[in-house]
Amino acid sequence: MKNDLERATKFTHMGRPPAGLGTSVSHPVTRASTLLFDKAEDLYRNDVRGYGRHGAAVHDALADLFTELEGGIGTMLYSSGLAALTGPILSIVKPGDHILLTDSTYGPTRHFCVTFLKRMGVKTTFYDPHIGAGIDTLIQDNTVLILLESPGSLTFEVQDIPAIAKAAKAKNVTTLIDNTWSAGLTLSPLQMGIDISIHAATKYFGGHSDVMYGAAIFANTARFKRAQMAAKQLGNASSPDDAYQILRGFRTVLPRFRQQEATSLALAEWLMTRDEVHQVLHPAVSDHPDHDLWARDFTGGGCIFSVVLKPLSDADVLRFIDGLNLFGIGYSYGGFESLAIHCDPQLSRNCAEPLAGPLVRFACGLEAMIDLKSDIEQSLAQVF
Q: Which of 78, 160, 195, 203 is catalytic?
A: 203
Determine the residue type at 134: G
Cα–Cα dist 108/118, whole Å = 14
Cα–Cα dist 79/238, whole Å = 5
Helix (H, G, I), strand (E, B) or coil at 163: helix
Determine the residue type at 320: F
Q: Which of 10, 16, 49, 53 is catalytic?
A: 53
For Cα atoms 191, 196, 201, give the angle at the middle one, nearest 5 degrees: 100
151 touches 306 (CB < 8 A): no
Annotated active-site residue 106? The verdict is: yes
Which residue in 161, 178, 158 sits closest to 169, CA to CA? 161
In the chain, the DSSP E strands lie at: 74-78, 98-102, 123-127, 143-149, 174-178, 196-199, 214-218, 277-281, 304-309, 339-342, 359-363
Distance set, CA 344 to CA 128, 308, 347, 383 (Å): 19, 10, 5, 18
359 touches 347 (CB < 8 A): yes
Q: Which of 106, 127, 204, 244 is catalytic?
A: 106
Helix locations, 218-354, DSSP H: 221-234, 240-271, 291-297, 314-322
Cα–Cα dist 49/264, whole Å = 43
Q: Identify the H or E element spanning 377.
A: helix 369-383
Q: Which of 97, 103, 160, 178 is catalytic?
A: 178
8 touches 253 (CB < 8 A): no
Annotated active-site residue 310? The verdict is: no
Active site (catalytic) residues: 53, 106, 178, 203
